[in-house]
A and B are shown apart, each in its own frame.
Chain A
Amino acid sequence: MSESAITITNLTKRFDDITALDNLSLEIAWGELFGILGPNGAGKSTAVNILNTLLEPTDGSATVDGHDVVFDPEGVRKVIGVCPQEPAFYPHLTGAENITLMGDMHLVPKDVLKERVKTMVEKIDMQGHINRRAKDYSGGMIRRVSMLMALISDPKVALLDEPTVAMDPKSRRAVWDFIRELKEQGKAIILTTHYMEEAQELCDRVAIIDEGKLIELGAPEDLMEKYHAKNLEEVFLKLTGKKLREAI
């Protein structure tokens, strides 16, 4: 296990003449729950997509558990679990089959996989629905299944891109508890979210980025103190100069 879970050094990504990510540098420790916040188009998903090896950076470098995202993408994929912004799932498969498929991709031993699916499904309160076809799920159920698809391999690093969108408060709380449990297991977790109270509640540190640049980094309490704000949302508004409604 490398010293840092994730190391991002001067990471830059350009799409033609648009700079989506501009010289971003971060270091994320094991057992840290790290939030990436920013308005739409700030570069959050670009950063996550470089870390999950879907995009190659234009400049700079990034390593996950010591594996370089450009030179050792296979190594990166073995240690990450990715919950994408749009919950990609196979509608003709049941929730359990979708989760099991991802376990098969990570070659989780069969008996372990079966037991793990059962345990994790109980944790996010999906026992009664997990053997139904995913196409019949509500938006919240799909999100929960999508998160289990990301975490079934027991990854060292979890990349959760807005995992609680469209969830009811009860489900969201269940997912929060689940994420906290992952953190306690020593996993590094990157969480992008538009819910400021979620970031404030869960994250050890947050990075606020806008127009591809890192504009603030720190623990939510430290940032609130620094900017004399009642909550993280106020910090966000002060820093980005945008109403949250616009940002969302």
Chain B
Amino acid sequence: MNLRRILALTRKDLKKLTREPAVLFLLIIFPITITFVFGLAFGGIGGGTTTSFDVGLLNLDVTGPQADWGHEFIGNLTSSGVFVVQYYDDNVTGQADLLQGSIDAFIIIPEGFGNSVVSYYDAPFNTSAWMNTTIGLYVDSGSLMAVSAVPPLVQEALMKTIFGADAMAIGLPVEIGSPALVESSTVTQWDYMAPGIFAFSAIFLTMIVAQSMTYERDEGLLKRLRTTPASSAEYLVSQTVTYMIIAVFQVALVLASSFVIGYRPATGLAGIAFTFVIALAFSLVAVGFGLIAATISKSAEVATGVSFIFIMPQMFFGTFMPLGGATEMIAKFMPSNYVTEAIATLFLRGAPITTPSIWTNLAIVSVVGVILIIVGIILFERFGSR
């Protein structure tokens, strides 16, 4: 194996990156673009600003002797900083605004709300003596974030209204180390997505590898190289090195773009260095899948489609898409999921570099990458290179 040949072949492929607009877009511009677009769309730009919800409020308990309880409840909603309250005079207008997406949720404080609270205090252990009322809470079903976040926050505001701020930290032998009321968070949805972006951008290496190798095969370039002293091993090592370099470059670009839009991962230099290492391991996975796609593709055009067989599951079950139930089980078979998980542990959870789980994730990605590269080389050499 000769280093000069490997470097010459690597240079040849890296030049394609800068000279072929389609490749340049997919491997360089695309990761930057999605970082900016997703950062903008999901709250990354501005550097961790407070997430807030526009909430419509109709208070029907304004005239009774216990109306102060309603005002107390509204005060607790607004004091959290999470809710920006808009007042409505009627249900119809509020519901209409909710339907049009003008507000994230609509809350109706029922008539007799204050009386209900007082009836509890009069007979706290006699439920039959309580005067029951129901707070109407309507959440924008088109907003995943509102659906998941608004109901528990309203519940906490209610608890604080009834039992007071101290009630959330009532003296018990067991303590939950969380604040009495959810504080306005500086974590945005982008923070949850960012770790997945690193794997997401590298996933498309598979397509470029498959296209590149089928093109070289179809155009007789592989044959031409086979008539020179360059060995198959040198060629395949050069391919792997090329895409490892590109993967490192992509991580650097996504990191730089994220920093520009204000993202600050909860890790230090060691954590960032680890991200580069796991990206290198993941590039092996991408090259391995690319070789397999090239083997079963008859042309570069077909390779584009075939590579999506490997790209789509990685994308949907291993990056920033929400998982649950069966998809979590499927994700266990996706190398990209381990990349995302390791980066999330560092960037989101702020775990130290010594955390065993990230090294386990790295080991899984590395082993799978090496296996895929070996399988890819064997298949491509046997069935795909002629």
Contacts and interface: CB of A to CB of B under 8 A. Distances in A.
Contact of A107 (B2, B15, B20, B226): B2
Given A74-B231, A77-B229, A78-B229, 16 more contacts: A52-B227, A53-B226, A77-B227, A82-B227, A86-B219, A88-B219, A88-B221, A90-B16, A92-B15, A92-B16, A93-B12, A97-B12, A100-B8, A101-B9, A107-B5, A107-B229
A105 B5 contact: yes
22 contacts: A54-B226, A54-B227, A77-B229, A82-B224, A84-B223, A86-B219, A86-B220, A88-B219, A90-B16, A90-B221, A92-B16, A92-B19, A92-B20, A93-B15, A97-B12, A101-B8, A101-B12, A102-B228, A105-B5, A105-B229, A106-B228, A153-B228
Interface in A90-104: 90, 92-93, 97, 100-102, 104
A180 interface: no
A20 to B, nearest CB: 16
B229 A97 contact: no
Nearest to A74: B229
B4 interface: yes
A129 interface: no
Top 4 closest pairs, chain A to chain B, by CB: A104-B8, A88-B220, A105-B228, A82-B227
A105 B225 contact: yes
B233 interface: no
Interface residues of B, number: 22
Interface in B215-270: 219-221, 223-231
B229 A106 contact: yes
B223 to A, nearest CB: 6
A216 B338 CA distance: 67
Contact of A53 (B12, B16, B20, B227): B227
Interface of A: 52-54, 74, 77-78, 80, 82, 84, 86, 88-90, 92-93, 97, 100-102, 104-107, 133, 149, 153
Interface residues of B, dominant DSSP: helix
B220 A107 contact: no
B220 A84 contact: yes
Contacts of A52: 227
Nearest to B224: A88
B217 to A, nearest CB: 10
A133 B228 CA distance: 23
Contacts of B227: 52-54, 77, 80, 82, 84
A133 B15 CA distance: 11
Nearest to A51: B227
A115 to B, nearest CB: 18
Given A77-B228, A92-B19, A92-B20, A107 B223 contact: no
B239 to A, nearest CB: 14
A232 B8 CA distance: 44
Nearest to A149: B224
Interface string B8-29: 1100100110011000000000
Contacts of B226: 53-54
A232 to B, nearest CB: 28
A133 to B, nearest CB: 7
Contacts of A88: 219-221, 223-224
A242 B228 CA distance: 36
Given A84-B220, A107-B2, A107-B4, A97 B15 contact: yes
Contacts of A93: 12, 15
Given A92-B15, A93-B12, A93-B15, A105 B230 contact: yes
Given A84-B220, A88-B221, A90-B12, A133 B19 contact: yes
A206 B111 CA distance: 108
A143 B4 CA distance: 26
B91 to A, nearest CB: 65
B26 to A, nearest CB: 15
B237 to A, nearest CB: 14
A150 to B, nearest CB: 9
A83 to B, nearest CB: 9
A74 B16 CA distance: 29
Contacts of B228: 77, 102, 105-106, 153
Contacts of A133: 19
A179 B359 CA distance: 60
Contacts of B9: 101
Q: Among A93, A97, A105, A107, which residue has the most Cβ atoms of chain B within 10 A?
A: A105
A109 to B, nearest CB: 10
